[in-house]
Each structure stands twice: as structure tokens, then as C-alpha cells.
Amino acid sequence: MTGWQVAKLDEIPRAGKRWIPIRKHFDGRAFGVNAWVAEAEGEDVIGEHIEEGTGHEELYLVVSGHATFTLDGEEVDAPTGTLVYLARTETKRKAVAREAGTTILSIGAKAGEAYEVQPWEVNAEMYPLYQAGDYEGAAALLRDAVQREPEPATYYNLACMEALAGHTEAAFEALTHAANEPRLREMAADDSDLESLKDDPRFTELLSPRS
């Protein structure tokens, strides 16, 4: 085991445009830690979510720029140096950048339990494959991930990779699991990764609002 590691936040390889997977970079084992970046003003830094799946308490820290958090509908101004702590997993949370380059650190773990690496972090391995056009490789990774942890957001990414790889049936199968979440149905409606599915009547059916 290496005794210590040092890295600058902006030198850690990003996964996708917004995500700096800090825990994964250092292979930390005691708590979850990531940073999220918005390239432009008005972009999401923290996408809207709850933590009921993970059961995590979360602490956010605006490390640069300026953000507006929305917590259960209430807006909070958050300049650099602001700490936001969310004990309740059901609080709906998001943050939007008010300046280009706004960066937010997030730390999370579940009280009363040993920390476990979260299955959604598989996306950090998926992004480079996706960006390189290796949709088969990306789909294989995510198929394995949903076997271990059937999370709707992972199914959503799997649907995208299957669609891009030309596996229409597998893509619909994955999308069925993702479409239970309103947020993912909305996302699917204008996601170009799912273009090849859009003329199929099943697509419209899956995306229609649920009662």
C-alpha cells in the first residue's frame, strides 16, 4: 500500500464532462468523495437526485465559482466556501452554476454502516469507452453492473449503450427498468444516444407519464 497520494483537483482525469471521480482515483475505502464541474453558467453542477438508494448523508462544498442549490424546492445561494449538509436521504437536491467552472466537492457515506464502494461509480469506467465509440465494451461493463446492483440510472446508461451498439431489443429491455423514474423518462425524450429507438412505438409507450 502506498502511504499517501497527492493530486490537484484539475489534474484528476474526468469521467465525462462534469465528473471528477476522486474516490476512484485514490481508491479510497472509507467514504465516497467526488467533485462536479459545470463548464458554463446555468448548467447543472449537481444533477437533481435523492440519496434513498444509497442511504448516504451528504456534505457538499463549493470549492470554486458560485452555485445555487435547490433543496426540496428552496433556493440557496452558495458562493465559494459554502458547505451544505444533507442528513435526510429523501431531500431532493440539485445545484446550478452561476459562474462558468463552478466546482462542488461532495462527500457521502451511510451512518452506522461500514462504507461500501457505490455501484454507480462503474460509470467512471464506462465514459472513456463511450467517448472512444466502444459501445460494445461499455454495454458489457454496465450489464455486469446491473447484475450486481439494479439501479435505474445504470439501466438508463445501459439502454443508451445497447442502442448505440445496435442491440435494439436489449436497449428496450434496459429502458423498461429505467423508465420507472420520471427524471429518466424526461431525459430519454431528447437523448440522441437513444435515437435508433425513437421510431419504435414501444419508445413512446415507455416514456408516457405514469399514473
Partner 1 sequence: MNIVHVDELELIPVGDRGLQWRPVRSRFGISAFGTNAYTADVGDEIVEEHTEGTYQHEEMYVVLRGRATFTLDGEEVDAPAGTIVHLPDPGVRRSAVAAEPGTTVLAVGAKPGEAFQPSPWELGFRGAHMEPREAVAYVEEHMGEYPDAAATHYNLACFRALAGDPEGALGALERAAEMDSESVHKWGESDSDLDSIRDDPRFKELVG
Which residues are near partner 1 by CB under 8 A? 1-10, 12, 22, 26-31, 33, 56-57, 59, 61, 63-64, 69, 76, 78-79, 81-87, 105, 107-115
CB of residue 73 to partner 1, shortest distance in Å:
13
Could you tell me which residues come within 8 angstroms of residue 144 by beta carbon, excluding any fewer than 6 positions away?
Answer: 122
Indicate the residue among 34 and 154 with the shorter CB distance to partner 1: 34
Shortest CA distance to 181 belongs to which of 52, 16, 73? 52
CB 110 → partner 1: shortest distance, Å?
Answer: 6
SS3 per-residue string spanning 153-169:
HHHHHHHHHHHHCCCHH
> Is-contact 104 62, C-beta < 8 A?
yes
* Minimum CB–partner distance for residue 107 and partner 1 (Å): 6
Choice between 8 and 210, CB closer to partner 1: 8
- 53/58 Cα distance (integer angstroms): 13
Closer by beta carbon to partner 1, 114 or else 208: 114
Between CA 117 and CA 125, with CA 122 as vertex, the angle to 5 degrees is 130
In the complex, what is the shortest distance from the CB of residue 94 to partner 1, in angstroms, rounded to a whole number?
A: 14
